[in-house]
């Protein structure tokens, strides 16, 4: 069997490079765009602690990312009433507008990635990705 992890890493890096080149016009990174889109699509407010867990990054990494995004005017951080311990990320109007554009850009990138596959192959590919993700992720749960 070929080196699966190496192949996945190389593919991931190629996709990230393509996405970042598309996103550069919007002055945003792929990681930042993922945060904006998550906030846009979420039916509820998301805390910074939750973002750390969802993106599997340290508090320092998320804090730095959120600070850069605040400086660019994409979002702001707030405490909800009655809870002065938990900080939440909230999209600004500019951030919401950008997230909607980026959602379309990411969709185009996703289409580009699987363009050589038939619709049936795309469904099977996603089924296998989900299966592998769940299997690998189950090894990390405590």
User: In this predicted model, what pLDDT tens digit does every residue of 4-35 receive, in sequence order?
Assistant: 889 889 988 988 888 888 888 888 988 899 99
Cβ proximity of 35 and 51 under 8 Å: yes
How far is Cα 77 from Cα 67, in angstroms, rounded to an integer? 9
| Domain regions of the chain by residue span | 4-138
Cβ proximity of 13 and 69 under 8 Å: no
Whole-model pTM: value is 0.78
- The architecture (CATH level 2) of 4-138 comes to Orthogonal Bundle (1.10)
Query: What are the structure tokens assigned to 97, written together?
Result: 């507008």
Res 87: pLDDT: 92
How far is Cα 39 from Cα 35, in angstroms, rounded to an integer? 6
Query: What are the structure tokens assigned to 120, written together?
Result: 């049936």
Q: Residue 1 — pLDDT band, cuts 50, 70, 90?
A: low
Helix 30-41 with 4-23: angle, nearest 10 deg: 80
């Amino acid at each position: 069997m070929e080196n699966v992890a190496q192949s996945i890493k190389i593919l991931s890096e190629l996709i990230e490079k393509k996405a970042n080149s598309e996103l550069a016009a919007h002055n945003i990174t792929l990681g930042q765009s993922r945060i904006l889109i998550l906030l846009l699509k979420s039916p509820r407010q998301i805390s910074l602690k939750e973002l750390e867990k969802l993106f599997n990054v340290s508090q320092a990494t998320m804090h730095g990312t959120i600070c850069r995004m605040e400086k660019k005017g994409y979002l702001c951080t707030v405490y909800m009433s009655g809870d002065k311990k938990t900080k939440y990320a909230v999209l600004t109007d500019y951030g919401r507008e950008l997230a909607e554009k980026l959602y379309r850009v990411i969709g185009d990138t996703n289409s580009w990635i699987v363009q050589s596959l038939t619709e049936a192959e795309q469904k099977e590919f996603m089924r296998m990705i989900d299966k592998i993700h769940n299997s690998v992720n189950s090894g990390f749960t405590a």
